A and B are shown apart, each in its own frame.
Chain A
């Protein structure tokens, strides 16, 4: 087992988002109504259980706000689950949001090193792979341009190239294969296929049923933080599609 998710629940307190202020505190002091402390609790994940074997490609589907991204964050260690246990036995390369580590003021070249270091690569590794990254991104002519002047497609291309330069044991992908122009989309898809063939375990979130069916060996259907169904890709994709279309 490379990933083991056991009874994982994730609670958010929506009350935190409400503005706490002196005025509000003053009003609360005199209001008679006892506040229900659990009213603001929101369970983004509730008792999620599953295991992933080495080399499996897991697709996560579900409507917006179903908890897919939260689940990825829990697996990658960005968030600690409120209850339950997450076991991960391998190096993770998270591609939750491409280019999150870019600094717009720095050039593409500088950002390759910055973003690479954020993803945990060593300097030696980046020196060796620098040309490979640049070639894959097709941005050699723009190496000395600050990234803030890049189009969103160019930024995404660069970020994808940096993130996929390693052969991670676990790859976490949140809706990114739709970046760049047509040519780059094909290229990135091929790259993904290559990694999967190489034995990389993938957690893949997408709303495109086509790409889920193309890539995944198993699908988990999430709704309101709970696992509705999991198993065979074709079958569950069809059921999900039917339920979404109101059949």
Chain B
């Protein structure tokens, strides 16, 4: 009990630092750009437009019976969050070595701050995403998506994805301190993972064996649940929701455990 209290107290104490680190990232990112924070909104819109043209017009991808554009975008924004956040979290500890070497700060702050920072971006991309769904009412894409009551589960799914990303971020940021090769390996791994996740194609086109393996792809689980709600107006089963939560919590626990175990060693590998 006192341990939980301690963690909470620490979190409160360093929350201001967390917000400062996040706002630093924002300021540095949009420094000297005319449109500034507007880019956080404009960027996903333009990206979506490009992807929509490439996949639905050039490659003629489609998934039977549903709005392909919404299908694609749902997968894309969720995947992009994970890829960007985990990638930035990975290098965050090594990048802040000068600080870690000088002042005592709980080191987990750096990867978590990155996950939150990209998380804000993610929340902004939800606006154009919802816009596309709304536009399907007036004929964007072949099929209409319907806003429905099941949307209340979406935040739960996104939070699970966030916790999962934090777990992975803690894990690889720790690993990359000891083995800088991880920087290169993870880039490749992400690309492979990207193509192995049905983001722009339908799971139906995969061989049966791979389809079964998708059950063990956490990112697919998150994306698939969100799609079920948005495209099929269905509530994911309680079992699925439970599994998603379990994946998130277990990953976060593993990440935190490894990070906590190894963080005192960081200083020797500066």
Interface residues of A (CB under 8 A from B): 12-13, 16, 73, 76-80, 92, 94, 96-97, 100-101, 103, 105-106, 110, 113-114, 117-123
Is the pair B268, A120 in contact by a Cβ cutoff of 8 Å?
no
Q: How far is it, in angstroms, between the C-alpha of A85 and the C-alpha of B104 when the chains are bound? A: 17
Residue B99, interface by CB 8 Å: yes
Is the pair A96, B16 in contact by a Cβ cutoff of 8 Å?
no
Residue B102, interface by CB 8 Å: yes
Residue in chain A with minimal CB distance to B31 = A105
For residue B184, which residues in chain A have a CB less than 8 angstroms away from its CB? Answer: none
Residue B17, interface by CB 8 Å: yes
Q: How far is it, in angstroms, between the C-alpha of A12 and the C-alpha of B13 when the chains are bound? A: 31
Known interface pairs A103-B28, A113-B20; 8 further A-B residue pairs with C-beta atoms within 8 A, sorted by A's residue number: A73-B101, A78-B104, A100-B98, A101-B99, A105-B28, A117-B16, A118-B17, A118-B20
Q: How far is it, in angstroms, between the C-alpha of A173 and the C-alpha of B98 when the chains are bound? A: 17
Is the pair B16, A123 in contact by a Cβ cutoff of 8 Å?
yes
CB contact list, B1-41 vs A, under 8 A: 13, 16-17, 19-21, 24, 27-28, 31
Contacts A16-B269, A117-B17 given: A100-B24 contact, CB under 8 Å? Answer: no
Q: How far is it, in angstroms, between the C-alpha of A19 and the C-alpha of B105 when the chains are bound? A: 28
Total number of residue pairs linking A and B with CB closer than 8 Å: 61
CB contact list, B35-85 vs A, under 8 A: none
Tell me what chain B mostly uses at the interface: helix, strand, loop, or mixed: helix
Residue B124, interface by CB 8 Å: no
Q: How far is it, in angstroms, between the C-alpha of A97 and the C-alpha of B97 when the chains are bound? A: 13
Contacts A110-B27, A114-B24, A117-B20 given: A78-B102 contact, CB under 8 Å? Answer: yes
Shortest B79–chain A CB gap in Å is 29
For residue B99, which residues in chain A have a CB less than 8 angstroms away from its CB? Answer: 100-101, 118
Is the pair A118, B103 in contact by a Cβ cutoff of 8 Å?
yes
Contacts A117-B20, A120-B13, A122-B16 given: A77-B104 contact, CB under 8 Å? Answer: yes
Residue in chain B with minimal CB distance to A11 = B268
Q: How far is it, in angstroms, between the C-alpha of A105 and the C-alpha of B24 when the chains are bound? A: 9
Residue in chain B with minimal CB distance to A76 = B104
Shortest A72–chain B CB gap in Å is 10
Q: How far is it, in angstroms, between the C-alpha of A100 and the C-alpha of B270 when the chains are bound? A: 15
CB contact list, B84-127 vs A, under 8 A: 98-105
Is the pair B264, A12 in contact by a Cβ cutoff of 8 Å?
no
For residue A100, which residues in chain B have a CB less than 8 angstroms away from its CB? Answer: 98-99, 101-103
23 A-B residue pairings within 8 Å (CB atoms): A12-B268, A13-B268, A16-B268, A76-B103, A76-B104, A78-B101, A79-B267, A92-B104, A100-B101, A101-B99, A103-B24, A105-B28, A105-B31, A106-B24, A110-B24, A110-B27, A113-B20, A114-B21, A114-B24, A117-B17, A118-B17, A118-B99, A119-B103
Question: Contact string, B173-211, partner A, CB cutoff 8 A, digits 1/0?
Answer: 000000000000000000000000000000000000000
Is the pair B27, A94 in contact by a Cβ cutoff of 8 Å?
no
Is the pair B28, A106 in contact by a Cβ cutoff of 8 Å?
yes
B-side interface residues, number (CB < 8 Å): 22
Contacting residue for A101 out of B103, B264, B267, B269, CB 8 A: B103
Residue in chain A with minimal CB distance to B18 = A117
Contacting residue for A105 out of B13, B20, B27, B103, CB 8 A: B27
Q: How far is it, in angstroms, between the C-alpha of A184 and the C-alpha of B16 when the chains are bound? A: 30
Residue in chain B with minimal CB distance to A13 = B268
Shortest B107–chain A CB gap in Å is 11
Q: How far is it, in angstroms, between the C-alpha of A161 and the C-alpha of B146 when the chains are bound? A: 58
Is the pair B101, A106 in contact by a Cβ cutoff of 8 Å?
no
Residue in chain B with minimal CB distance to A100 = B102
Shortest B95–chain A CB gap in Å is 11
For residue B31, which residues in chain A have a CB less than 8 angstroms away from its CB? Answer: 105
Q: Among B19, B99, B104, B267, find the residue whose CB has the most chain A CB atoms closer than 10 A.
A: B104
Q: How far is it, in angstroms, between the C-alpha of A119 and the C-alpha of B102 when the chains are bound? A: 11
Is the pair B27, A78 in contact by a Cβ cutoff of 8 Å?
no
Contacts A13-B268, A80-B264, A106-B27 given: A114-B20 contact, CB under 8 Å? Answer: yes
Shortest A18–chain B CB gap in Å is 13
Q: How far is it, in angstroms, between the C-alpha of A114 and the C-alpha of B103 when the chains are bound? A: 13
For residue A113, which residues in chain B have a CB less than 8 angstroms away from its CB? Answer: 20
For residue A105, which residues in chain B have a CB less than 8 angstroms away from its CB? Answer: 27-28, 31
Is the pair A94, B28 in contact by a Cβ cutoff of 8 Å?
no
Contacts A105-B27, A113-B20, A117-B20 given: A96-B102 contact, CB under 8 Å? Answer: yes
Residue in chain A with minimal CB distance to B20 = A117
Is the pair A78, B268 in contact by a Cβ cutoff of 8 Å?
no
